Amino acid sequence: MYLIKNLSSILNLDHVGIMDFCGTHEWTITHYGLRSLMPDPIRLIAGPGCPVCITPAHYVDELIKLCMDGVHVLTYGDTYRLPGSSDKVRSLAHAKSLGGKVTIVYSVLDAIKRAKANPNEEFVFFAVGFETTAPSTASPVYREVIPRNLKLLIAHRLTPPIIRYLFDNVPEVSLQGVIAPGHVSTIIGASAWEFIPREYNVSAVVAGFEPMDVLIAIYLIIKDLIDGKPKLHNEYGRAVSYEGNLMAKTMLNEVFEVIDAPWRGIGVVRSSGYVLKDKFRVYDAAFEYGIDLTKDVDLALPKGCRCGEVVLGKVEPTQCPLFMKVCTPRNPYGPCMVSIEGTCRIWAEHGGYVIKNLNI
């Protein structure tokens, strides 16, 4: 901290915006109170690092229809309470209370086991996540071990395109540094973030998740600002290589096609989503049930919810009028309060709003 304060004191800048992309980084920053320790002018900004938060509402709507029609929907716990767009049946949890067939699973392997054990029942697995979890979905597809009574609704999203989107389309969020996601980078490699210093003249640091990892990342960004030489750093070398996991990347390229995809509260982001390739259509719930995964209908959020602005770093959770009033961890109203990686959930459970207001 001394080094950060010492370096920041010689910065001739009124604002140093550093975005932590990953929800786990935001957890570390909030849980350990790192934001309150930052000297002026450093501002730590939470980014769109929660895949559940940006999953389109109409995906949830379609799954609600399926489960109410007798198709057994298998979902992660994080997406169980994720709201759709209707107040009549708000979520898969609500649908289950009304008789819908919904079960929480821990992985696609759990889904496969359940489908094999019940061959006369139709199942759909809700495949959500960034590049970290996409290989676990791709692997059984690639190996063709998925039973024919199990289909996959693919909601995987890619992380570098949303960072490009931020730089290109959200100028009000001024960034002088990016803390790139560590877990994602174990798959896609540190090289995936080279475009940030090269194209946007901003330093990027692939970082681990201990408080010291985050502080080192901030230090490196501040040092680069003073030197006037933006760079890509791999602080998380103990887990992340430059190339990433080549086997996983090859498998992803074999199984998935990259598409322009909708992000909840944001809109369609170019080349930011996965769909199954045509040769794997036999496993595709979107093809089987006629679901349009690409339609842009997801700017709308629950009334009053500012989640779309929160995930882009435009506002903090405390600037949403629903935060810790209508919307709480026990009764989440917006998607950013549902997931354990959501910025609002993290601030609510770990006192981010209290620590910030202490102004220490």
* 23 and 58 inside one domain: yes
355 lies in some domain: no
Q: Tell me: pLDDT of 61 over 90.
A: yes
* Sole residue written with tokens 């049930």: 289
* 19 and 145 inside one domain: yes
CA distance 44 to 36: 10
* 126 and 244 inside one domain: yes
Give the domain CATH number at 60. 3.40.50.11750
**Percent of the chain's residues with pLDDT above 70:** 92
Q: Tell me: pLDDT of 360 over 80.
A: no
| Cβ within 8 Å of residue 139, ≥6 positions away | 251
CA distance 263 to 56: 6
- Inter-residue contact 91 to 80 (CB < 8 Å): yes
> How many structural domains does the chain have?
2
CA distance 24 to 278: 34
* 216 and 338 inside one domain: no
Confidence of residue 173 (pLDDT cuts 50, 70, 90): very high
* 276 and 317 inside one domain: no
* 172 and 228 inside one domain: yes
> Is residue 270 classed as helix, strand or coil in its secondary structure?
strand
* 135 and 199 inside one domain: yes
CA distance 141 to 280: 7
Q: Which of 274, 346, 305 is nearest to 35 (CA)?
A: 346
pLDDT tens, residue by residue, 128-151? 999 999 999 999 999 999 999 999
| Cβ within 8 Å of residue 6, ≥6 positions away | none
* 63 and 5 inside one domain: yes
Confidence of residue 96 (pLDDT cuts 50, 70, 90): very high
CA distance 169 to 311: 14
86 lies in some domain: yes
CA distance 91 to 352: 27
Tokens of 155: 């909601």
360 lies in some domain: no
Q: Which domain holds residue 262?
A: 1-304
Say what the pTM is.
0.93
Give residue 102's pLDDT. 98
In the Cβ-directed half-sphere of 136, how many Cα atoms lie within 13 Å? 16
| Cβ within 8 Å of residue 219, ≥6 positions away | 3, 4, 7
